[in-house]
Structure 1
Amino acid sequence: MEWFGADEAWERPTPPVGHSDVRLGVVLLAISALLLELSRSFGDFSQAAAPWQQYLSLASICAALVWRRRFPLPVFGLAVAHFFVVCTWVGEVGYTMPYQLIFFFAIYSTVAWARDRRTTVIALATLAVGFGLWVAWDFAMGQSVESFRRNTSDYTPHGLFPMIPAWVVYTAVINVCYIGGAMAMGQAAWRQARDRARLAEQAETIAGQSAELRDQAVVDERLRIARELHDVVAHHVSVMGIQAAGARRLLVHKPEQAATALEQVEQSSRQAVTQMRSLLGALRGTDETEETGREPQPTLSALPGLFEDCRRSGLQVEHDLVEDLPGTAEALPLPVQLSLFRTVQESLTNVQRHSTASRASVTVRVHNHGGDGWAEAEVLDEGRPRSGTSGSGLGLLGMRERITSHGGVLEVGPRVTGGYRVRVRLPLDGATITRGESR
């Protein structure tokens, strides 16, 4: 049962009867009729059935094979019955090589195209038993042995076995090879069809998964672009708003300080435009920063400039760097440095926009001992939330998405002692940092 695929869930598709099936039937009929007529030209057909019966026997079996793929089991049953009838009453056709080959092809087609494999096994077992009983009956009750003796009465055997047993065993082996060979070839064809169907299904699944991965990659890239745009625009626009508000208050009484604040607004706007160009240039895939005039993505080395911008807008920032070895932070992978920088930038922007705090502290920690290294950034303030300044939440959402993409952890919330705390920790592969460990 297992060899025949009786437990397989796959079923071979049922094809319609096509031109190829009709052509095959016509070709088989033409070849077998030609061989029959050649046999009639040199053989003794004096005791044979009428010629129309002989050709009808060939035409009927060839016509049945036209439907072999559409209805394999019914055609098989018809072919078996046809075989026994023709070999019994039209033996001059049934025992010829063309007819035997046609019946061989009928067995092969049944095994190759049958959908119900269990029924196929039962049908083939019935055929094998029927063949055995028929051959046994022919030897025991028929005239086969007597006819064989008459035809070999003047023949002296030269083999190792007795004549009659050798002939019986020879006939049995031929029949076993005949039926078994047709079954084996049909089963091989069925398995090839099943394997092709599985490969096609796997290819379709892979194509669908590839399309899903492409779509997901597009979505992820859109989210990344949205995060970068939000981080760049939100920070500089917030700083510009604070500086513009200060300039407005100082414009009448302290015009010189107002002019300084407006200069800072101008610098912030230029920085925003420069970083926007840098981001768009990265999206276009151009890497020549000197030719395009854009700056590379910020790293941890850009934090002092960020702190200076915050101080000019009225927020005092204290910062500290904790490293296992000097230079370890500078050797962090660029995506990790960018994520830490954007997290600190977004956190300080939120402090300026939504908190009453005038001071904040930033601590960057890098630990790379053993295989469980990590990089961490922590932003603390001691202010209270400003009324009417609740944001859209997109900043925190983008921050979480960015950290999640690195497999990191983000902690955001109020402190027990007052103020607000943002802490992010990103895992590091032990092989990614080499500069700090080589010193």
Structure 2
Amino acid sequence: MVEQSLPERFGAWLGLDDDWQRPVQHVDRRDVAVTLVMAAALALNLELLRGYYPAEAMEPRPLEYGLIVLLALPLLWRRRLPLVCAMAVFAAFVVARSTADEVAAQLVGQVLLFLAVFSAACWARNRRALAATVTGILLADLLWLTWDFAVGLSTEHIIASLDGPARGLLSPAVSYGIYAYLINIVFFVSAFVFGTSAWRRARQQAKLAAQATQLARQSEQLRDQAIIEERLRIARELHDVVAHHVSVTGVQAAAARRALDRRPDQAARALGMVEESSREAIGQMRGLLGALRGAAGHEDDSRQASPTIAQITGLTTGRADGLRVDYELLEPTPGAATQVPLPVALSIYRTVEEALTNVRRHSTARSAQVVVRVAEHYVETEILDAGRPVPGTSGTGLGQLGMRERAAHHHGEVEIGPRPTGGYRVRVRLPLMESQ
């Protein structure tokens, strides 16, 4: 990281290149209250001075109160037009010091000028214009002091007020000059520093509020996305359960109808398969509904009945639908398949179920091969057949879409398509580390 120079750090602190701007403020009750309070304080300070100040040193009241209005009125726009307010107050301050010194020279007048510079640093939206304005005001103030000392007006007042010889280290004129310069510099710099610090706090609060708003918006988007993903999951589950079992039921019912008169035993077996498939469909539907009802806090319990890799055997054996399925489970160690996370195992099961359903409905194949491989970092299933597509049975494509969505949900890989040597191939690989 390149270390910034002192001017660069000062510019960053001041926010010269910052894109954030304070919102434009309109004149409201607070600005009116500040203006009235400062005008009343100036008037009170003036009347207290009249109690102990020589009468010949005071200007007429109309002039003094006119200067008070001229000094306080710009404060109405201290937030809406902060730089204009600061310049107007400083100009009025110079005019007051030149015509009726008693109005601006006291503490309240200094506080009013401090407030104007503070408001400029706190509310200015253009930070470069702020730096130029405050620098210009400070230089103009120092030049005005220099001119005042040069013509001798201030020093004459100081010397005239002395009853005897000065006892300081420096002469009265030099001492007063240094004092006046230091007071003005400290006043302006303090107002500028405090105002800029207030601006930085406002900027930080605005950024925190923007971050909170963005987080809330992202949270809402994530919630909507979660709802959509849950709907897609339900759609996939319904499709896989209904499509598979309805397909099996249709095939077995057709076989039973054909064998009913000539082969009653075969028809009875086919009807038994219809009954078994129907019961299994109802059981899985109940499990799915239980998962939905248990989504409020019992997800683990509600998915205990979800099919896993161990139930794939039921998809490949005991089916009297004419499709012979050879199933092979490859494990690095015995029982490794039982350690596969339930969501991954369910996706593998549904993939095999959907692929075999597609073979039965859309292929001329009379046999299929199912291989499930469980490795250290992934689990993979591959379903192969050597048949040809049955004309007019292309389907809706939702089954393959469901396979791809399941794999994408687990950051897995999918290969679905015809084999170069004939037949069809479905291969899905799901990583285990991503899902655990």
Identify the range of structure 1 (208-217 vs 186-195) with the bigger mean alpha-carbon deviation.
Answer: 186-195
Once the two structures are superposed, the pairs formed by residues 346-357 of structure 1 within 5 Å of their partners are 346-357=354-365
Match for 2:30 among 10, 17, 20? 20
Determine the structure 2 residue equivalent to 1:427: 431
Cα distance, 1:288 vs. partner? 8.1
2:126 is the alignment partner of 1:122: no
Determine the structure 1 residue equivalent to 2:250: 241
Cα distance, 1:86 vs. partner? 0.3
Q: Distance in 2 between matches of 1:150 and 1:41?
A: 21
Determine the structure 1 residue equivalent to 2:215: 206
Once the two structures are superposed, the pairs formed by residues 293-312 of structure 1 within 5 Å of their partners are 296-309=305-318, 311-312=319-320
Where in structure 1 do 4 or more consecutive aligned residues deviate above 6 Å? 286-289
Determine the structure 1 residue equivalent to 2:146: 136
Match for 2:338 among 330, 335, 339? 330
Q: Report Cα offsets for 1:9-52 as digits up to 9, x if no partner.
A: 22211111112211221122222212221121122232221012
Q: Relative contact order (alpha carbons < 8 A, sep ≥ 6): 1 or 2 greater?
A: 1
Determine the structure 2 residue equivalent to 1:321: 329
Q: Distance in 1 between matches of 2:177 and 2:84?
A: 32
Letter paired with 1:10: W
Determine the structure 2 residue equivalent to 1:435: none
Determine the structure 1 residue equivalent to 2:6: none
Q: Distance in 2 between matches of 1:25 and 1:164?
A: 36
2:72 is the alignment partner of 1:62: yes
SS at match of 1:46: helix
User: How many pairs does the alignment contain?
Assistant: 424
SS at match of 2:417: strand
Identify the range of structure 1 (29-38 vs 78-87) with the bigger mean alpha-carbon deviation.
Answer: 29-38
Determine the structure 2 residue equivalent to 1:78: 88
Q: Distance in 2 between matches of 1:288 and 1:247?
A: 42
Q: Distance in 2 between matches of 1:376 and 1:2?
A: 55
Aligned partners of 2:410 and 2:435 also within 8 Å: no
Q: Distance in 1 between matches of 2:298 and 2:74?
A: 74
2:235 is the alignment partner of 1:231: no
Q: Distance in 2 between matches of 1:92 and 1:288?
A: 80
CA RMSD of aligned residues (A): 2.2
Q: Distance in 2 between matches of 1:376 and 1:213?
A: 30
2:172 is the alignment partner of 1:168: no
Once the two structures are superposed, the pairs formed by residues 361-376 of structure 1 within 5 Å of their partners are 361-368=369-376, 373-376=377-380
Aligned partners of 1:157 and 1:163 also within 8 Å: no
Q: Report Cα offsets for 1:349-395 as digits up to 9, x if no partner.
A: 11111111111111111221xxxx21111111111111111110000
2:354 is the alignment partner of 1:341: no
Cα distance, 1:428 vs. partner? 2.1
Q: Report Cα offsets for 1:119-138 as digits up to 9, x if no partner.
A: 22221111111111111111
Normalising by structure 2, what TM-score? 0.92
Aligned partners of 1:275 and 1:295 also within 8 Å: no
Closer/same/farther in 2, CA of residues 295 and 164 from structure 1, 3 Å limit: closer
Determine the structure 1 residue equivalent to 2:276: 267
Percent identical among aligned pairs is 46
Q: Report Cα offsets for 1:337-357 as digits up to 9, x if no partner.
A: 111111111111111111111
SS at match of 2:40: helix
SS at match of 1:386: coil
Q: Distance in 2 between matches of 1:76 and 1:158?
A: 36
Aligned partners of 1:80 and 1:127 also within 8 Å: yes
Identify the range of structure 1 (197-206 vs 142-151) with the bigger mean alpha-carbon deviation.
Answer: 142-151
Cα distance, 1:285 vs. partner? 0.7
Aligned partners of 1:353 and 1:389 also within 8 Å: yes
Cα distance, 1:155 vs. partner? 4.7
Aligned partners of 1:58 and 1:99 also within 8 Å: no
Determine the structure 2 residue equivalent to 1:437: none
Match for 1:405 among 404, 409, 429? 409
2:419 is the alignment partner of 1:418: no
Q: Distance in 2 between matches of 1:329 and 1:295?
A: 16
Aligned partners of 2:410 and 2:434 also within 8 Å: no
Identify the range of structure 1 (94-103 vs 255-264) with the bigger mean alpha-carbon deviation.
Answer: 255-264
Q: Distance in 2 between matches of 1:68 and 1:131?
A: 20
Q: Distance in 2 between matches of 1:132 and 1:31?
A: 26
Identify the range of structure 1 (104-113 vs 278-287) with the bigger mean alpha-carbon deviation.
Answer: 278-287
Q: Distance in 1 between matches of 2:171 and 2:46?
A: 34
Normalising by structure 1, what TM-score? 0.91
Identify the range of structure 1 (16-25 vs 89-98) with the bigger mean alpha-carbon deviation.
Answer: 16-25
- Per residue, is there more helix in 1 or in 2? 2
Letter paired with 1:390: S
Q: Report Cα offsets for 1:150-198 as digits up to 9, x if no partner.
A: 4346255355x56543432222111110111111111112222222222
Q: Distance in 2 between matches of 1:205 and 1:288?
A: 31
Determine the structure 2 residue equivalent to 1:257: 266
